[in-house]
Amino acid sequence: MSVWEVLEIDETNDIKTIKRAYAAKLKTVKPDEDPKGFQVLHQAYKTAQKMAKNNSQAHFGEASVQVTHEITDTSKIDLDVGIEQVSEYSNINNTQFESGYTESGSSNEDYHAAPYLEETKSTVTDYQQVEQLELERLLVLVDELLLDDYKTNRIKNWSFITLTPYILDTEFNWQLGLGILKRLLDISNVQTHTLNYLNSLFNWKDDEEYICEVIGDEWCKSMLLRINNVQQKVDPVSGLRGSKSVKKVKKMANERLSYYFFGSDVKRLMALFIDLTLLLFVVHGLFSAYQLAFGELRGLEVKNPRLIMLCVLYLIYAWYFEISFMQSTPGKFILGIRVTNKDFRKVSKLRCFFRVLLFAATCVGSLFTLFINALLGGKYLHDRMSGTYVIDLRRSKKHHDTTI
Amino acid sequence: MAILGIDLGTTNCACGIWTDEGLKLIKNRLGDVLTPSVIGIDDKGNVTVGRIAKERLITHSDKTVAVFKRLMGTEHKIKIGKKDYTATELSSIILKSLKEDAENVLGESIDEAVISVPAYFNDNQRHATKLAGELAGFKVDRLINEPTAAAMAYGLHDKDEGVFLILDMGGGTFDVSILEFFEGVMEVHATSGDNFLGGEDFVEAMVNDMLGELGVEKESVNSKQLQTIYMQMETAKRKIGGKDAIEQTIQIHKKEFQWVSTKEWFDRITLPLMIRVKRPIERAIKDADLTPDEIDNIVLVGGATRMGVFRATIGKLFGRLPLCHLDPDTVVAMGASIQAGLKDKNAALNDIVLTDVCPYTLGTEVNNPSGGNEGGHYYPIIERNTTVPTSIVKTVQTSFNNQTELDVKIYQGENRLVKKNVFLGEMTVKVPKGPEGKEKIDIRYSYDMNGLLEVDVTVLSNGKSFNKLIEQTPGALTDKEKQASLDKLSKIKFHPRETEENRAIIAKGERLYESSLSEQREYIANILSKFETILERQNQQEIKKAQEQLTKILNDLDKEEWF
């Protein structure tokens, strides 16, 4: 179905007809009732508009082809006349326009376009001259200000910039900003708050790369780096009025990082060592306390009660901490390692229970499992079987921050 | 049953309905159309909303809160009194109060609403607004962009055809929309804006600069004094257009300062803000593929556009004067009510159709398109300012051999790196094993009229499809959390309606007492205690008379520009 069939009109270049047809169809195909139909209709409307515009431009284009043809002739002549005078060039352009329009036989209305263009041009140059003078005047003031370090860093002294009527003019703003930044690079004692303030007027930070390219100074980047772009980091809390306090609640399931590293063998062994040492103190403490209170342990068949207690305690301890908000035992936590499920989120209680049991089971093989685990590239037997990952969060975060 | 059109603003709220006789704005319990978006809670859990709470902002600043709309869709908890509230919950309290007012005026229950949001609100913030409506007991099928609402009010009011540029600066947000009105069609061409730029920022700039000049650390000023200063600067901001200089006495610690706010000073310190105003305007015009000459009307909406400096800047930028003959404070509520009427299929509005655009680009994360296995790059699917509802499919493929899972992450924003865009959610899709690039999936983004996104993913080789409405957005609630919120809010009681007027008077009196000195203070304390005695006697006629007298006295005191 062509766009014209969708709009139910004959092909036309008249934008008004297209709009009317679209409006009429829209009364039956409402966006909230028939989203699909609407999308087709709207697409057709946009395409039709574009085609109509292109077509009318194409007509105009034919004329301009002729014009360019004529231009080559006239410009030759004109160039012969004013070959040395570059300033003549703009005049040449104007004559081309005039001659072009006459040759192509356009209506008188079009012909009038030429003087209008000239007129605007002259006002534009006047305006530009005024702006240029203003720019120079301001930059002289800036130079004066920059002679004195103390004055430079008093924001109030910069207020003359804000008073110029052209500050909101894009081109003027850019030129002035560029001029000031160039000058700032030549002096040493510009404080950050001054930079921040000037950045709020000229938005250097937005076109950081481009502006440094234009200036071509190696210090430019490091200077702009000092600016903290307040606008981009507006604290939403800052505007809040009243209330006792505001706190940010972080949900555990947050954005994923770009890449996750598994915890290295060394780090995991170190973590285990830290945890066991911690627990050893606890166990010894408990036993000593017991002995102090009740005397020697008696009637125990087990050879090494302390070791067994240590093992059992470790399992409970691991389970308890790995399902907590820390997501890892204190030893791992210190080293920046976390235990997660396969979605890199906090493990469930049950899964962690299995993990701990499997850890105990695989530990029976002791040296043998150690050997196997070392070959498994960071995913140990009990990790694999319980469907958990042990990740090096610190390293992953670092990687995430540096790559992006 | 009528559908309520609500403007849920940063500083003020208003609501209205479309009746057979036309548009009707609803007055609240104190007889005002505007309800300040301020909430106060006392220790018993009783809630006050609006003008009374605003008066109490100084006297009970730890139990009162304002300007919380900025925290919509974030995970901040705001403590007022003894409990924590999210911005969504606070908004729902306001909505509930508006609902009560409307039901009281109309004499029927209302359970559906159209709520306005800043055009530049992102998906999270829209969800939060919708949720606030639901917590307040509304069915919210439709959110309407504030500038679009304003344009609707203007378009319908003037019956003008042409291209409108709408600049909407409220208390906390700035929105720009370009809208064309022809043959009963309202077509939005482009929106842009700044979510953190509004009238409050001008006050903030004034306060900061003034404290800096006086050499006072902001942190050292206690909250009561600081609130007073904010209110004083607010007053100065409102008056500065008409006068050249405004003199005020500022109290900091135990010292008094004479502070003169001049127009020149104001223009100077707010210039960075005006430069920020300019950028979204330029972007919207560029996105709409227009030149400034092609814009027929410039419409100003929102209280902050009353500022002289704002009007002057816009005049300078476009070389002509903007339109502002509808009340900028209520025009959004009017538009929302019209939309409510449309939704209700009101006969008078039958031949008007509105089409809107999505304000941000929506996309997903892919590997670096110029090669390599480096992730984190943004792949746009729906470009910003596409007309909605729309549904667009893009195909992506596996990036390494034997890949079994694809993570479809959903982002909103304009940066080429996903990290700098807003994360909306994700879903994992399982695909059969195969060499790199063999498995392809179709990702379809569907964006509806309310600005809410749905994502469908289809695996091309086996035709399996996965669907997801955005999950895990910050501020989104599970059913359980939602119920907890509802329970918490249901415990909240509004003060009885009849006593509201008296409470408003007392709150205002207390505020004036706080901010005045010596003799005036005694005078206020005196009349307030007299009023309380009259209230205790419960003689309706006497109370009525006292109310009138006291309102007049307090208004006169208030006009003295904070002494």
Report, as an integer, the average pLDDT of B3-21.
Answer: 90
Q: Is A243 on the interface with B (CB under 8 A)?
A: yes
Helix (H) or strand (E) holding B455: strand B453-459
CA distance B369 to B328: 47
Nearest CA in chain B to A166: B316
pLDDT at res. A66: 45
A293 token code pair? 């209170």
Q: Which CATH architecture has domain B4-197+275-357?
A: 2-Layer Sandwich (3.30)
Q: Please name the residues in contact with B524: beta carbons below 8 A apart, sequence gap of 6 or more.
A: B509, B512, B513, B516, B557
Chain-chain contact of A240 with B278 (C-beta, under 8 angstroms): no
Q: Is A242 on the interface with B (CB under 8 A)?
A: yes
Most confident of A5-14, B91-100, B480-489: B91-100
Whether B313 shows a pLDDT value over 60: the answer reads: yes
Count of CB atoms within 10 A of residue B383's CB?
Answer: 16
Please give the C-alpha separations between residue B346 and each of A27, B112, B336, B340, B353, in angstroms, as whole numbers. Answer: 14, 15, 14, 9, 13
Count the helices and strands in chain B (H runs, E runs).
Answer: 13, 28
A310 token code pair? 């240590």
Q: Please name the residues in contact with B172: beta carbons below 8 A apart, sequence gap of 6 or more.
A: A239, B10, B11, B67, B69, B70, B196, B198, B199, B200, B201
Domain ranges (residues) in chain B: 4-197+275-357, 362-469, 497-559
Contact between A275 and A237 under an 8 Å Cβ cutoff? The reply is no
B188 token code pair? 């939005």
- What pTM did the predictor assign? 0.70
Sequence letter at residue A212: C
| pLDDT band, residue B42 (cuts 50/70/90) | confident
B410 token code pair? 């959903």
Helix (H) or strand (E) holding A52: helix A35-81
CA distance B467 to B445: 10
Q: What share of chain A is helix, strand, coil (3-state, %, to 5)?
A: 70, 5, 25
**Interchain CB contacts (distance < 8 Å): A and B:** 159
Sequence letter at residue A254: N
List alpha helices for B404-491, DSSP H.
479-490
Determine the residue among A28, A32, A47, A171 to mutate to test chain B binding: the one whose Cβ has the most chain B Cβ atoms within 10 Å. Answer: A32
CA distance A61 to A73: 19
The DSSP letter of residue B255 is E
Say which of A35, A167, A239 has its CB closest to residue B204: A239
pLDDT at res. B52: 84
Chain-chain contact of A248 with B66 (C-beta, under 8 angstroms): no
Contact residues on chain A for B57, CB-CB shorter than 8 A: 241-242
Chain-chain contact of A246 with B71 (C-beta, under 8 angstroms): yes
CA distance B157 to B183: 15
pLDDT at res. A301: 65
pLDDT at res. A83: 36
Q: Please name the residues in contact with A394: beta carbons below 8 A apart, sequence gap of 6 or more.
A: A335, A336, A337
Q: Is B225 on the interface with A (CB under 8 A)?
A: no
CA distance B286 to B279: 11
Q: What are the backbone angles phi and psi of residue A241, rounded to the nearest 5°?
A: -115, 140
B239 token code pair? 């008056």
Please give the C-alpha separations between residue B314 and each of A161, B240, B298, in angstroms, as whole numbers. Answer: 19, 18, 9
* Lowest-pLDDT range of A157-166, A296-305, B69-78, B97-106: A296-305
A14: left (phi over 0), alpha (psi -120 to 50) or beta: beta
B193 token code pair? 């804006």
Among B164, B168, B167, B195, CA closest to B180: B164
pLDDT in tens, chain A (404 residues): 788 888 888 888 888 889 889 988 888 888 878 888 888 999 899 888 888 888 877 665 454 444 444 444 433 334 333 333 333 333 333 333 333 333 333 333 333 333 333 444 455 667 778 888 888 999 998 888 888 888 888 888 888 888 888 888 888 888 888 888 888 888 877 888 888 888 888 888 777 778 888 887 777 888 888 776 554 445 667 667 777 777 776 544 445 666 778 888 888 888 989 998 999 999 889 888 888 887 776 666 667 778 888 888 888 998 998 888 888 888 888 888 888 887 777 888 888 898 888 888 877 666 777 777 777 777 888 888 888 888 888 888 777 666 54
Residues 125-144 of A with CB under 8 A from B: none
Contact residues on chain B for A22, CB-CB shorter than 8 A: 185
Q: Is A173 on the interface with B (CB under 8 A)?
A: yes
Contact between B386 and B407 under an 8 Å Cβ cutoff? The reply is no
CA distance B456 to B466: 6
What distance in Å separates residue B537's CA from the closest CA in chain A?
Answer: 34
* Lowest-pLDDT range of B75-84, B338-347, B464-473: B464-473
Question: Which three-class secondary structure state does DSSP give residue B429?
Answer: strand
pLDDT at res. B114: 93
**CATH superfamily membership of B362-469:** Substrate Binding Domain Of DNAk; Chain A, domain 1 (2.60.34.10)
Determine the residue among B42, B84, B446 to mutate to test chain A binding: the one whose Cβ has the most chain A Cβ atoms within 10 Å. Answer: B84
Contact between B1 and B112 under an 8 Å Cβ cutoff? The reply is yes
Whether B560 shows a pLDDT value over 70: the answer reads: no
| pLDDT band, residue B382 (cuts 50/70/90) | very high
Among B123, B189, B192, CA closest to B357: B189
Residues 326-345 of A with CB under 8 A from B: 343
What distance in Å separates residue A298's CA from the closest CA in chain B?
Answer: 53
Pairing of strands B174-182, B162-169: antiparallel
Say which of A168, A197, A237 has its CB closest to residue B274: A168
Contact residues on chain A for B351, CB-CB shorter than 8 A: 27
Q: Is A233 on the interface with B (CB under 8 A)?
A: no
Q: Is A236 on the interface with B (CB under 8 A)?
A: yes
Count of CB atoms within 10 A of residue A258's CB?
Answer: 18
B2: left (phi over 0), alpha (psi -120 to 50) or beta: beta
* Lowest-pLDDT range of A231-245, B142-156, B207-221, B508-522: A231-245
Contact residues on chain A for B170, CB-CB shorter than 8 A: none
A30 token code pair? 């409402």
Residues 277-336 of B with CB under 8 A from A: 278-279, 282, 313, 316-317
Q: Please name the residues in contact with B336: beta carbons below 8 A apart, sequence gap of 6 or more.
A: B5, B6, B7, B15, B16, B114, B115, B116, B144, B149
Contact residues on chain B for A162, CB-CB shorter than 8 A: 267-268, 271
CA distance B221 to B232: 15
Q: What are the backbone angles phi and psi of residue B462, rounded to the nearest 5°?
A: -115, 0
CA distance A130 to B104: 62
Say which of B182, B267, B419 has its CB closest to residue A404: B419
Q: Is B55 on the interface with A (CB under 8 A)?
A: no
Q: Is B218 on the interface with A (CB under 8 A)?
A: no
CA distance B237 to B239: 6
- In A241-303, beta strands by DSSP E: 241-242, 245-248
pLDDT at res. B252: 86
Residues 44-103 of A with CB under 8 A from B: none
Determine the residue among A27, A240, A250 to mutate to test chain B binding: the one whose Cβ has the most chain B Cβ atoms within 10 Å. Answer: A240
Q: Is A22 on the interface with B (CB under 8 A)?
A: yes
pLDDT at res. A340: 86
Contact between A300 and A291 under an 8 Å Cβ cutoff? The reply is no
Determine the residue among A15, A244, A256, A260 to mutate to test chain B binding: the one whose Cβ has the most chain B Cβ atoms within 10 Å. Answer: A244
Whether B472 shows a pLDDT value over 70: the answer reads: no
Helix (H) or strand (E) holding B101: helix B87-106
The DSSP letter of residue B352 is -
Q: Tokens 């008188």 appear where?
A: A108
Q: What are the backbone angles phi and psi of residue B440, rounded to the nearest 5°?
A: -125, 145
List alpha helices for A82-162, DSSP H.
89-103, 108-111, 113-146, 149-152, 159-162
Quick: pLDDT tens for B192-232: 888 788 888 899 889 989 998 888 888 888 877 888 888 88
Contact residues on chain A for B230, CB-CB shorter than 8 A: 241
Among B1, B33, B30, B32, CA closest to B16: B33
Q: Is B68 on the interface with A (CB under 8 A)?
A: yes
Chain-chain contact of B67 with A241 (C-beta, under 8 angstroms): yes
Contact residues on chain B for A19, CB-CB shorter than 8 A: 182-183, 185
Contact residues on chain A for B81, CB-CB shorter than 8 A: 244
Contact residues on chain A for B418, CB-CB shorter than 8 A: 404
Chain-chain contact of A27 with B353 (C-beta, under 8 angstroms): yes
Among B160, B197, B156, B161, CA closest to B176: B197
Pairing of strands B112-117, B139-145: parallel
Say which of B316, B428, B446 has its CB closest to residue A168: B316
What distance in Å separates residue B283's CA from the closest CA in chain A?
Answer: 13
Among B218, B215, B238, B239, CA closest to B227: B218
- In B386-421, beta strands by DSSP E: 387-388, 390-397, 405-412
